[in-house]
Amino acid sequence: MDREHDAIVLPGSIRQMISGKPYQTDDIGMSKARVMVFDDCVLKIAPYQKKNEETVHVMRWLENKLPVPKVLCYECDAERQYLLMSRIPGKMACDAYYLERPQELAARLAEAIRMLWSIDVSDCPRSRDLDVELKEARVRVENHMVDVDNVEPTTFGPGGFKNPEHLLDWLEHNRPNYEPVLSHGDLCLPNIFIDHGRISGLIDLGDTGTGDKWRDIALCYRSMRLNAEGAFGGRIYPGTRAETLFDAIGIAPDLEKIRYYLLLDELF
């Protein structure tokens, strides 16, 4: 392991904590970060961004509020950030065990959403409201950072938007009413862990902060649908319907807001 790390040169504090430990590389998700999973901890190495420092602040704020990874050590230099955190036990919500049991899966996803909503956000250290989201979206659009090949087939082209600029303009002029809660920001099934029938943790908190309740619902709904349709791994689960999520939460789907936040996510 040490030889593989030599090219990066880990900070001494982190090297001391993981030296000699076996690990596996986690390549699930779309992050450009390098993630190494040990028996009892996880090391995430990412290019330096101020946003990542904000994430560490949020994680520390959430300690003892929600089951999130504990920050064990955080170091950064001009090029990279190194975050060593505790490992969350259990299986991802996208595990075949749960996709084969849609009612149980929906109940656990609803549990995760209600846990987020239960947090008092009056002193939350980060806002992820639409002012922030749309500002970041504009930077991505203007710098041609939107991956138009990694979107829903109907987003751009015939019957959809002409291009990311057209979509951004629509989003800026059709903002829905704001219902603030603690928002995970990327509440997809791989970021939700379940152990012994309960939520054991939420990971990948890079966009967590005060945000609209429907963003998490929208992304969780889409993730459940895509996993059931076999978009990740190829296996289809015909008995799993994403619509059961709304029954489990006990809320009627706001289809307009769901569509809005799914379209917004296409720019990220």
pLDDT of residue 33: 84
Calculate mean pLDDT across residues 218-228.
97
pLDDT of residue 212: 98
pLDDT of residue 28: 60
- Long-range pairs of 166-174 with CB within 8 A, sequence gap ≥ 24: 167/263, 167/266, 167/267, 168/134, 168/137, 168/138, 168/141, 168/267, 170/263, 171/134, 171/137, 171/260, 171/263, 171/264, 171/267, 172/134, 174/260
* Structure confidence by residue, pLDDT tens digits, 125-181: 999 999 999 999 999 999 999 999 999 999 999 999 999 999 999 999 999 999 999
* Structure confidence by residue, pLDDT tens digits, 59-84: 999 999 999 999 999 999 989 999 99
Q: DSSP assignment of 91-155, as one string?
A: EETTSHHHHT-HHHHHHHHHHHHHHHHTS--TT-S-B-SHHHHHHHHHHHHHTT---TTSS-TTT
pLDDT of residue 9: 85
Which of 186, 207, 216, 265 is an active site residue?
186
Reported as a pLDDT band with limits 50, 70 and 90, residue 5 is very low
Q: Decide if 203 contacts 65 (C-beta within 8 A).
A: no
Element (H, E) at 216: helix 213-228
Helices and strands, number each (H, E), in the chain: 10, 10
Clarify whether 216 is annotated catalytic: no
Instruction: List, in order of start, the domains of the chain with CATH numbers.
Output: 2-86 (3.30.200.20), 91-265 (3.90.1200.10)
Backbone φ and ψ for 198, nearest 5 degrees, come out as -135, 160
